[in-house]
Amino acid sequence: MAIFEHFGPSTEVKRTLMNSVMKYFLGICLAMFVVSCKTASNVSFTTSDIAGAQKMIGLEFSEANIDTMYNYLRRNRRGYEAMRKFSVDRETFPAMVFDPIPSGFEEPYYAAKPIWKVEEGVERPSDLEELAFYPIPKLASLIKNQKVSSEELTRMYISRIKKHDGVLQSVITLTENLALEQARRADQEIAAGQYRGILHGIPYGVKDLMAVEGYNTTWGAKPYENQEIEYTATVVKRLEAAGAVLIAKLVSGSLARGDVWFNGKTKNPWDITQGASGSSAGSGSATSAGLVAFSLGTETLGSITSPSTRNGVTGLRPTYGRVSRHGVMSLSWSMDKVGPLCRNAEDCAIVFSVINGNDPKDPSTSDYSFGFRDSRDFSQLRVGYLKEFVDRDKTASGDNLRSALEKLNGIGIEPVEVSLPKEFPFQAFDIILRAEAGTFFDDLVRDKGVDVMVEQHPGSRANSLRQSRFIPAVEYLQANRHRRRLINEMHEIMKDLDILISPTFGGSQLMITNLTGHPVVSVPTGLDKRNRPTSFTLIGNLYDEEVILLLAKKFQEMTEFDEMHPPDFLPGK
């Protein structure tokens, strides 16, 4: 070696220099080994990746901090991979179950459950198709008194589905065989004097997020087009126990988003150039067009109230936890609600009285009482309204709402001006829904099934699920801490009110009440200049669906908006 020859061939010098050179090269090799470990496929990220990732969450750590946290992040990654080796049943809720009850809350109490009276004196029409838009009490009268059989009624609705749904695209699965079997059973029981109650023999449909054994439950999405769940949702079982007849599984927008599903776009029967709105699009459209007597939908952030408004029906979004979601696709465990879309408020109350209540299979459910005292001094109600948004709306929808307020003045209601909470990070709250949805659909994202969904644009459900993987757990929990503040502040507003009146899409009303779990009912108020339906929303206190339904019923007795139906789908069309 030339260096040794330059200094002379001393054995000691050779040994010393050799050791130094060896240490130098070993150091280089060790450094290269560490770097290679950090870039190896089993770790697949480097400290540079961490430095880049922190920009997405608005933080900046020093290079030394990033180096020291690297092993923690590797451990986190191993934890993720360990979890992914275990499957979790889709009905398993997170250990942290959302509780909407604010500090100082006192629950409403109703001593007696509602007893529904079946009308007398309802006569069979000459044309059976006229029954398509009858409310539940009138249909019940005809069936109970055996003037119309459940099978006849069921066949009429099935015929209308086959006639009109090619245009509306509101039905995913027609459960014809099951419906006729249930209808015949209802007729036999009624003939034998075994009347189960006001829903006995009444045909209905459910949003296709709800499992029905023996039928596909597609969730409106291409990856689940052929999915069959081998049990039936609790709400469907409760309606079956009441004797109702399931005739259709209705369109859900893809994974509960919008009105586009894997086979098309559901239409508004008032204007078929317009979508039915989502995601309970099929429930809104089919109920409006008289293809079912009533339907069930779900709401996380507007999916009962929006299609109810768009399609001109009455929709009840109950208090969070009032209705079981067992057997119903989860989008957000802490925000999802199941509720009815019906002809009018009384029909909503009837259906709600059957489907509400505790379910051991759904840890979020409660067993608070529900009454429907059909007598009330409305002048004694404490009513507020969102004056800011009522005055601001200069459209026909705003005109119709102001007219509705005048009608309510006529029964002694003089609402006071109220404002919704404002000092909150509303832009952050949507991450609660998106993080929980990403968790439920974890497998769909990781196995790339999300890539075959029909919609792939930036605002699509597919992209919402992908981005959920980049929501930090810390920010999700911080959003829920602000949510708790919102719950308490909303309680301070509502504790002095029985009802709060709002434009359906006024300000942050939909987001706030979905986050806090308050019940609302969407009530038709007429048509706009394009002959499309408009509505207003009544917000109630937690677990007090009765008062908003009673006021909605009173309003509908004074008006005819709930009796208006899309002209192109009337009998004989």
pLDDT at 568 over 50: yes
How confident is residue 179, by pLDDT bands cut at 50, 70 and 90?
very high
CA contacts within 13 A on the Cβ side of 251: 35
| Residue 11 or 198, more confident | 198
Q: Which domains are delineated in the chain?
A: 2-83 (no CATH), 134-423+453-569 (3.90.1300.10)
Say which range, 62-71, 192-201, 558-567, has the weakest mean pLDDT: 62-71
Q: How confident is the model at residue 10 (pLDDT cuts 50, 70, 90)?
A: low
The predicted model gives 502-523 an average pLDDT of 97
Q: Residue 20 — pLDDT band, cuts 50, 70, 90?
A: low
How many angstroms separate the Cα of 225 from the Cα of each of 260, 261, 332, 487?
14, 10, 21, 38
CA atoms of 322 and 357, how far apart (whole Å): 6
Q: How many whole angstroms separate alpha carbon 118 and alpha carbon 131? A: 16
Listed in sequence order, the residues at least 6 apart from 492 whose beta carbon sits closer than 8 Å to its beta carbon are none
The answer on pLDDT for 108 being more than 90 is no
User: What's the pLDDT score for residue 343?
Assistant: 98
What is the percent of the chain with per-residue pLDDT over 90, rounded to a whole number? Answer: 88
Summarised one tens digit per residue, pLDDT across range 210-225 is 999 999 999 999 999 9
**231-281 per-position pLDDT tens digit:** 999 999 999 999 999 999 999 999 999 999 999 999 999 999 999 999 999
Find the mean pLDDT for residues 353-373: 95
pLDDT higher than threshold 90 for residue 12: no
Instruction: List, as one string, the DSSP characters of 195-260.
Output: ---TTTT-EEEEETTB--TTSB--TT-GGGTT-B-SS--HHHHHHHHTT-EEEEEEP--TTS-SSE
Answer yes or no: is pLDDT of 26 > 60.
no
Mean pLDDT of the 161-173 span: 98
> Please, are residues 356 and 324 in contact by the beta-carbon 8 Å criterion?
no
Kindly report the pTM of this predicted structure.
0.91
If you average pLDDT over every residue of the chain, what do you get?
A: 92
Q: What is the CA radius of gyration of the chain?
A: 30
pLDDT value at position 408? 98
Cis peptide before 279 (omega within 30 of 0): yes
What are the residue ranges of helices labelled H in 247-386? 281-288, 305-311, 345-355
pLDDT at 43 over 90: no
pLDDT at 292 over 90: yes
| pLDDT confidence bin for 21, thresholds 50/70/90 | very low
Six-digit token string for 164: 């009109």
Residues in the chain: 573
Kindly give the pairing relationship between strand 520-527 and strand 416-417: unpaired
**Cα dist from 288 to 170, 291, 344, 357, whole Å:** 11, 8, 11, 27
pLDDT confidence of 11, banded at 50, 70, 90? low
* Range in 1-10, 42-51, 127-136, 397-406 the model is least confident about: 1-10
Cα distance between the two ends of the chain: 102
- Asked whether the beta carbons of 434 and 467 are under 8 A apart, the reply is yes
Q: Calculate mean pLDDT across residues 347-369.
A: 96
The answer to whether residue 16 scores a pLDDT higher than 80 is no
**Does residue 563 contact residue 290 with C-beta atoms inside 8 Å?**
no
Predicted confidence (pLDDT) at residue 547 exceeds the cutoff of 50 = yes
Residue 532 has pLDDT above 80, yes or no: yes
Report d(CA 426, CA 443) in Å as an integer. Answer: 29
With vertex at residue 549, the alpha carbon angle to CA 269 and CA 344, rounded to the nearest 5 degrees, is 30
Judged by DSSP in three states, 537 sits in strand
The stretches of 304-395 forming alpha helices (DSSP H) are: 305-311, 345-355, 387-392
Max Cα separation, the chain? 124
